[in-house]
Structure 1
Amino acid sequence: MTVLLEVGSVCAWYGEAQVLHGVDLRIEAGELVLLCGRNGSGRSTFAKALVGLVRRAGSIVFAGEEIVGLPTFEIARRGIGYVAEQREVFPTLSVEENLRLGIKPGQRATGRAMKRRIDETFDWFPLLAQRRATSAGVLSGGEQQMLVLARALLGEPRLVVVDEPTEGLAPQAVAAVEACLQSLCEQGGAVLLIEQRLTMAQRLADRIAVMGHGRIVFDGAVEALDATTIDEWIAIGSGR
């Protein structure tokens, strides 16, 4: 398999406070990697470090290119999509207008082609299709979560970093998210999934990485762990 992302000795800070202390991780094309750990372990900070939203040092090589030092918009252009936990929508714009913003300028062909791509996205998330003219700010939390994921996927990323995508979602919506992420991997993309629902994540993940105190304390195949040992590794990483 082709290595799509290789992270070496990555550290990250908020101001003077250091959160990541030398993270190493690699993700291959077609692979879905689950990143788990307790709250405060550094998972979300690691996601932000990958896309340049926090001060970081070390090496992040994506598709053979070092991206540490690049601004966030350049990282996005190179093919890393980021879905934050905060559900960052443009509240005064409609669902469809939010989705249009996910299409990169170089990918915006004719209006008809753009409409076709958005309609294909609605096939994945029919609940959004029913809200296409609704302002994003009045959507439920779960609907907003689907919207930010759909918008990220419209940018045709090679790697999607997704932070807690199923939080607040109904079972039907969770199934849609699962199918969407699986499809991306089947097409040669990759996913770094930060998720607390271990049963769902274990169904999807090829590998599991456990983070504690800003470091990866376990990285291995899904089959190497069960729910009990995952909890044990999380506790070890948390110093408990």
Structure 2
Amino acid sequence: MRFDLITLFPAMFDPIRDLGVTGRAHRQGIWQLHPWNPRDFTQDAHRTVDDRPYGGGPGMVMMVEPLRQAVAAARQARGSAQGSAPVVLFTPTGRRFDQDVAQSLSEGEGAILVCGRYEGIDQRFIDREVDIELSLGDFVLSGGEIPAMALMDAVVRLLPGVLNDADSARFDSFNGALSGLLDSPHYTRPEIHEGESVPAELLSGHHAQIALWRRRQSLALTAERRPDLIERARSQGWLTSDDERWLAGLPGGRC
């Protein structure tokens, strides 16, 4: 798995390359990170990568050519051994990034991630070079570096050998093993904290009872906070008749 980053700020990615789960996986060679600075592909003394927008308006717009040459360099460096990698741009107009996208990318050879800055990117670059446009949500960031880090973290943790327990990723929120629902609450020692005990079901040692408790907690939490995920699971046929009875018995018969 290889990620190539088109970014004006390569140093921002040092933590995801060096620290935590992703850092350990990088040291093990499970994935690679290669930054490309568009300023290295400019022809003027000032290493200019942006200019004023046609038609007027605030801010500056990133120019086509430095970005195109950076992408071309990344493609050449990847070579045929890395296969064809999609060029991903982070933009408010893109598809919402979710676990399905992360799972799909984890099954490929990686991606070339374009991190925009300023007011935006010349549309001609987007039309010619970008395969996928993604957004983290309905808010605006200063650039695409933070979304790129979020994507890499979400994808890398799905790769074989990255997590100590392979089931950790399978039972994350939004995963198919949970019918795309939110995960249930978690508890650890001490058994009693300030008078509040761990739920009895988790202390029972009865695996079926524990699984049922977790499923119902997952359903209740999802119904309360993300009813859209309940509807999605229902439309996919992922809810059992027991699930539906439990949902019907929630206060107000939620969902």
Could you tell me the TM-score, scaled by structure 2's length? Answer: 0.24
Larger Rg: 2
Higher helix share: 2
Higher strand share: 1
Could you tell me the TM-score, scaled by structure 1's length? Answer: 0.25
